[in-house]
Amino acid sequence: MLIKNLIVFGTRPEAIKMAPLVKEFLKNQSFITKVCVTGQHREMLDQVLDFFDIEPDYDLNLMKKGQNLFGLTADIITGLRPVLEEFQPDFVYVHGDTTTTMSASIAAFYSGAKVCHVEAGLRTFNKKAPFPEEINRTITGHIADFHFAPTQESFDNLIREGIPEKHIEITGNTVIDALMHSVDRVDEIVDSEIETLKNTLDFTKRTILVTGHRRENHGEGFIRICEALKEIGDAVKEVQLVYPVHLNPKVQEPVYETLGNASNIKLIKPLAYPAFVWLMNKAEMVITDSGGVQEEAPSLGKPVLVMRDTTERPEAVKAGTVILVGTNKEKIVNETLHLLNDQDHFTKMSKLHNPYGDGNACKRIVAFMEKVTPVKS
Ligand code: UD1
Ligand code: UDP
């Protein structure tokens, strides 16, 4: 009997991290695999679907400009019902910690399907940071039947929460599968975004790549971040800070207002994955509050300053390639200048380090699922 899989995702990072899993399942004849996107993101999701050449079987197309957590959660649960009733999957795969992740797990559980959680077990143990992701992934972790933990630390967190060991597999993070698929190709493919970056940025300057979007940083946090970036741009003439700005209006507004005319700062639109990977590789260092970028940059040997007080990804911090700087203006400025001015410190932080996987996470997930019998609850 063929096993029916439904892979559900909705935002840019989920799409990047689920794309290689979709490809791996579609190659395997033991499964009928369908993809449902919630459309929690639209443009930023479509960029990923295009690059990985994935055409979803179902698209709930839910994004509203300036959406809120209440409406989005309700829309996802309600929107998934007819999909689950029509396809009747044995297994529903969700990723990480977004509102799509948590809501899709609940909907799948209501339908009687088993839930498989990819990137399971990440924790800060702080309900408010990241908000609402810490609670999203904890809820999902307690609904899920099978847990794909990227690292030993995430496995240990799940064991401490009482998840049976035989339901957890340590796989590495699928983001490394996506990165490895892309990093070699970006130098070979003809990509109009990469051409534009080559023509519009000044790579004789030292390049710092910046991203930021976290909800708990909205408001004052973002003002401090922008002031810090401005100060760095003013202080160091031979630097260019390149910031592809997330489309959330709560990010766009303060960033364009504060940094629109700042010296040595280039604000650009969110990049499709290949152009972003290309730029990350060209950059000397990265300043970010992103989860995914924190995992990718150490794998490319780039020092990372993380604009958060706490992280669910302690592995690279322990290895010395990531430093937490919060949203404290002085700390962001000082740590950046330290990296730019102290070659020994820079060299130590830029040692190539890959704690998040070896590029075979998706193969491990599929191999695990081949051994599981699909009995509905
Ligand atoms: C969401 C996730 C967060 C994840 C992030 C990745 C939740 C609660 N948050 O945050 O965990 O780290 O995505 O980027 O699940 N928008 C567009 N076009 C897009 C995407 C977003 O216009 O393609 C704008 C819309 O106005 C939208 C707003 O951004 O309403 C916020 O999107 P939302 O998904 O609710 O929050 P994010 O901050 O993107
Ligand atoms: N990314 C991208 N284009 C950009 C910025 C980021 O493709 O302009 C990719 C990045 O490589 C990483 C993912 O998006 O894989 C991270 O997404 P985001 O920071 O939005 O979310 P998080 O990982 O924090 O949930």
What pLDDT does 352 receive? 76
Rounded to a whole number of angstroms, the CA Rg of the chain reads 20
Q: Give the mean model confidence (pLDDT) for residues 125-139.
A: 97
Query: Is the pLDDT assigned to residue 184 strictly greater than 90?
Result: no
The answer to whether the 3-173+358-372 and 191-350 domains have the same CATH topology is yes
Nearest ligand 2 atom, CA 98: 25
Domain ranges in the chain are 3-173+358-372, 191-350
Please provide the DSSP assignment of 12-59 as one string.
Answer: HHHHHHHHHHHHHHHT-TTEEEEEEE--SSSHHHHHHHHHHT---SEE
Q: Which residue CA neighbors atom 24 of ligand 2 most closely?
A: 290
What pLDDT does 268 receive? 98
Query: Is the pLDDT assigned to residue 262 strictly greater than 70?
Result: yes
Query: Is the pLDDT assigned to residue 376 strictly greater than 60?
Result: no
Query: Is the pLDDT assigned to residue 187 strictly greater than 90?
Result: no
> Has 246 been annotated as catalytic?
yes
Q: Which residue CA neighbors atom 36 of ligand 1 most closely?
A: 248
Distance of CA 319 to the CA centre of its chain: 20
Whether 226 contacts 194, CB under 8 Å: no
What pLDDT does 375 receive? 55
Q: Which ligand is nearest to the CA of 215?
A: 1
Q: Which ligand is nearest to the CA of 43?
A: 1
Q: Give the mean model confidence (pLDDT) for residues 56-84.
A: 98
Whether 310 contacts 133, CB under 8 Å: no
What proportion of the chain, given as a percentage, has pLDDT over 90? 95
Q: Give the mean model confidence (pLDDT) for residues 71-98.
A: 98
Tell whether ligand 1 has an atom less than 6 A from the beta carbon of residue 70: no
Residue 132, preceding peptide bond in cis (omega within 30° of 0): yes
> Has 147 been annotated as catalytic?
no
Which secondary structure element, helix H or strand E, spans residue 267, and what is its range? strand 265-268
Q: Which residues pair with 115 in a beta bridge?
A: 92
pLDDT band at 189 (very low <50, low <70, confident <90, very high): confident
What pLDDT does 351 receive? 84
Query: Is the pLDDT assigned to residue 353 strictly greater than 90?
Result: no
Q: Which residue CA neighbors atom 14 of ligand 2 most closely?
A: 13
Query: Is the pLDDT assigned to residue 65 strictly greater than 90?
Result: yes
Q: Which ligand is nearest to the CA of 308?
A: 2
Whether 120 contacts 154, CB under 8 Å: yes
Residue 105 CA to ligand 1 center (angstroms) comes to: 19
pLDDT band at 377 (very low <50, low <70, confident <90, very high): very low
Superfamily of domain 3-173+358-372: Glycogen Phosphorylase B; (3.40.50.2000)
Query: Which tokens in the block code for residue 258?
Result: 């504060």
Tell whether ligand 1 has an atom less than 6 A from the beta carbon of residue 293: no
Q: How many CB atoms lie within 10 A of CB 216?
A: 18
Q: Give the mean model confidence (pLDDT) for residues 220-239.
A: 97
DSSP at 166 = G
**304 three-state secondary structure:** strand
Question: Does domain 191-350 correspond to CATH entry 3.30.70.890?
Answer: no
Tell me how far apart the alpha carbons of residues 172 and 6 are, in angstroms, rounded to a whole number. Answer: 21
Model confidence pTM above 0.95: yes
Q: Which residues pair with 118 in a beta bridge?
A: 95, 148
Measured from CB, residues less than 6 Å from any atom of ligand 2 are: 12-13, 16, 175, 211, 213, 244, 270-271, 273, 276, 290-293, 296
- Average pLDDT across the chain, whole number: 96
Q: How many CB atoms lie within 10 A of CB 237?
A: 9
Residue 334 CA to ligand 2 center (angstroms) comes to: 25
Q: Give the mean model confidence (pLDDT) for residues 322-338.
A: 98
